[in-house]
Structure 1
Amino acid sequence: MLTGFLVFLTVAGIGIAGLAWISPGRLEPLRDETWAIIPGSISERVFVDIGGIRQGMFIQSVDPANPVLLFLHGGPGMPEFFMEQEFPTAISQDFTMVWWEQRGAGMSFATDIPPASMTIEQMIADTIEVADYLRARFGKEKIILLGHSWGSYLGIQVAAEAPDRFLAYIGMAQIAHQLRSEILARDFMIDAYRKLGDERMVRKLEAAPVSMKDGLSPAWMRHRDKAMHQLGVGNTRDTLSVVRGIFLPVWRVRAYTLREKINIWRGKLWSRPFFWDALLRDDLAKRLTRFELPIYFFVGHHDHTANAELSKAYFDVIEAPTKEFYLFENSAHSPLFEEPKLARAILRETLNA
């Protein structure tokens, strides 16, 4: 008995030591093809007081004079810098790329954040304040705003609130009416699994109701992610499980400290309840359609996390000085990471970068 306990402690100690070793909290410099550091490039971990709390971000650029692109991650509360590590976009070649971790998420998580401050109004104010910090630091009159998933729900509201700060808004996997998207996802998956002959999954999904009246059932939330990823219609076409596609990659990112990695999961669990119900019920097409800046949507053809057809229907009712809808045929929920060359080409052409 004692021997077994000692073995357990030894293995646990080795595991913790290993995690600490791969968690130095250092961001690697940007390098060229010969592995030499690119002269004049930046690759920084930055902490700034935003909305009264310390908030963190990664900033990378081969040339800080390039246009600044502020990335709003999904979740709520789920930073996405790990995606850049798993699916390198090389977007820092064209833009000064800012991976901000929102209030209550990752590097910006703290146990003393007032719960009363976790509102969409405060998140909008935080985003504008981050934009102002970046505009001042890099000497830009305007920057670019890109929101992904939950970040698109936040971002499009920021774009409406403060168009004077931004050259353009890009909605990736743009949310339109998330509860309706969940209903469509369930219908799609029941049909898909029935065609595959997976009656076990069909029974699970049929016993997991989703409705406009009652919202999402606990059973749906238990089966949703696994069912989506097994069909290749979740985070990416290649993400076959949350564990292998999201959980483990986060732990491999050396730019985080061990505490920050733990805080990613603490922040995700803590942040989500503050916003999830409002996110589900809000029909953006009924209240937010006029914009004073260019609007671009990047949508994956195979996206059933934020339904692609609903994104297109929302896009169609938007009025903006310029607007374009880009459908990525080989992508699910994350076109920038799934088809980075195409996404970069569109961004360069559209934004004259």
Structure 2
Amino acid sequence: MLGIVLAASAALVAPVAGLLGHRRVKQLRNAELMRIDRPNGVDEQGFVRIGAIEQWISIRGEDLDNPVLLEIHGGPGSSNSFFGPRTREWEKHFTVVRWDQRGAGRTLGRSGAEGQGELSIARLQEDAVEVTEYVRARLGVERVVLTAYSFGSVIGLRLARRRPDLFSAYVGTDQNLHDGGRDRSAHHALLERLHAAGKRKDLAAVEQLGTDPRTWTAEEHSTYARITATSEPRTADALKRVVMASLWVSPLHGLRDIGVLGKGMKLSAQLVPETAGYDDWADGTTFDLPFFVFQGDHDPYTPPVLARRFVADVHAPVKDFALIPDAGHFAAFRHPDRFLELMLAKVRPVVTERQPAAR
């Protein structure tokens, strides 16, 4: 999701003054929507010492006996925390854990860029393990459902391979897959969309990049992501009506947080070139845990055809692949009801059967 969110940021700048009153009303309504008052519920947000720095973690749900869902957000450098009102229904069936990674969101806002320490895929994986251990201890569960979004699924796949003892299932959405640069169909599809739309400037920019992302700089990856997102109507619409609109009216976020989101995306852009040469098939398609991928049927950035192909090659105790109709990138948040239906029909029965709570 690198650079995609930045494409929509300008939509919030010009009309800010006139929208502040309306924004405040929406924030108050969302704060009421987000209230949890069930006796066995949980609503905690705060900073936890992870990887030697203070990192922001939210734990929310209406029933602590529900399965725990740990999210690995995308970006890199984005956040899922502002989607709370859109995904409120999820918390009736899962305890949802949201974590702002180093270099992102409130973790970045806490100590600034200079206080983030090492920023690498390996370090984020280590942080994710620490967060998982914290959540297991805090909630008294043996395993959690690992749910990874977009760039976060790069980390999620590696965690699922290496530490299946921590997780009751893996769920990838906007699943980011790499095959060592062999499949360039998404690149060619982008060129065709731009040509058909008459977007000559963007077409020239993409052609100038070449077809091998392993040679691109972080800035070039960001350019490619922006053009890809804005070339597909569902994804472009989700940028404005789902991503930026959710951040604008989140009761947990102030105006400063909008700026921090952009800073996090820019700071974390350095992570992307490291992943361009990855090969998920070579790294291994055997997973010792239930494995699910739910993908937007029109996702231009993480194409469903590649995700379907990977799942077909996966060996796991249980596996499933499903499309989310009328969705590009950000599929789970564009259609949170459909994503929840998939989680309840396919994932929850498996994890509740395999993993009773340890409390």
Match in the other structure for 1:62: 62
Q: 1:213 to 1:305 in 2, by over 3 A?
A: closer
1:281 partnered with 2:277: yes
Worse overlay, 97-106 or 196-205:
196-205
| Alignment deviations for residues 69-128 of structure 1 (CA, whole Å, 9 cap, x no partner) | 00110011111222344x44511111001111111211111334354x222222111111
Structure 2 counterpart of 1:264, from 251, 261, 265: 261
1:329 partnered with 2:328: no
| Alignment deviations for residues 255-307 of structure 1 (CA, whole Å, 9 cap, x no partner) | 0355544333222211220x111222211111122211111111111011112
Match in the other structure for 2:11: none
Counterpart Cα distance in 1 of 2:308 and 2:250:
34
Q: 1:302 to 1:157 in 2, by over 3 A?
A: same
Give secondary structure in 2 for the equivalent of 1:78: coil
The runs of 5 or more residues in structure 1 that have no matched partner are 1-11
Q: How does 1:206-217 map to 2 (within 5 A)?
A: 206-211=207-212, 214-215=215-216
Displacement after TM superposition at 1:62 (Å): 1.2
Does the 8 A contact of 1:159 with 1:169 survive in 2? yes
Q: 1:129 to 1:107 in 2, by over 3 A?
A: same
Give secondary structure in 2 for the equivalent of 1:134: helix
Identity %, equivalent residues? 26
Does the 8 A contact of 2:44 with 2:58 survive in 1? yes
1:291 partnered with 2:303: no
Match in the other structure for 2:306: 310
Give secondary structure in 2 for the equivalent of 1:332: coil
Counterpart Cα distance in 2 of 1:214 and 1:168:
34
| Alignment deviations for residues 129-164 of structure 1 (CA, whole Å, 9 cap, x no partner) | 111111111111111100001111101111112111
Does the 8 A contact of 1:30 with 1:41 survive in 2? no
Does the 8 A contact of 2:218 with 2:272 survive in 1? no
Does the 8 A contact of 2:171 with 2:291 survive in 1? yes
Does the 8 A contact of 2:56 with 2:100 survive in 1? yes
Give the CA RMSD over aligned residues.
Answer: 3.5
Displacement after TM superposition at 1:165 (Å): 1.0
Give secondary structure in 1 for the equivalent of 2:46: strand
Displacement after TM superposition at 1:51 (Å): 1.3
Does the 8 A contact of 2:190 with 2:231 survive in 1? no
Counterpart Cα distance in 2 of 1:341 and 1:100:
22
Displacement after TM superposition at 1:334 (Å): 2.4
Counterpart Cα distance in 1 of 2:51 and 2:32:
29
Give secondary structure in 2 for the equivalent of 1:210: coil
Counterpart Cα distance in 1 of 2:84 and 2:195:
35
Displacement after TM superposition at 1:229 (Å): 2.5
Aligned residues: 330
Does the 8 A contact of 2:34 with 2:84 survive in 1? no
Worse overlay, 92-101 or 210-219:
210-219
Match in the other structure for 1:338: 334
Match in the other structure for 2:8: none
| Alignment deviations for residues 211-237 of structure 1 (CA, whole Å, 9 cap, x no partner) | 25633696774364245324225xx46
Displacement after TM superposition at 1:248 (Å): 5.6
Amino acid at match of 1:161: R
Q: 1:338 to 1:245 in 2, by over 3 A?
A: closer
Displacement after TM superposition at 1:66 (Å): 1.2
Amino acid at match of 1:148: Y
Worse overlay, 302-311 or 213-222:
213-222
Q: 1:114 to 1:173 in 2, by over 3 A?
A: closer
1:113 partnered with 2:110: no
Counterpart Cα distance in 2 of 1:143 and 1:99:
13
Counterpart Cα distance in 2 of 1:151 and 1:213:
19
Does the 8 A contact of 2:219 with 2:269 survive in 1? no
The runs of 5 or more residues in structure 2 that have no matched partner are 1-13, 353-359
Counterpart Cα distance in 2 of 1:171 and 1:215:
25
Give secondary structure in 2 for the equivalent of 1:238: helix
Displacement after TM superposition at 1:314 (Å): 1.8
Counterpart Cα distance in 1 of 2:66 and 2:84:
19
1:77 partnered with 2:77: yes
Counterpart Cα distance in 2 of 1:321 and 1:160:
13
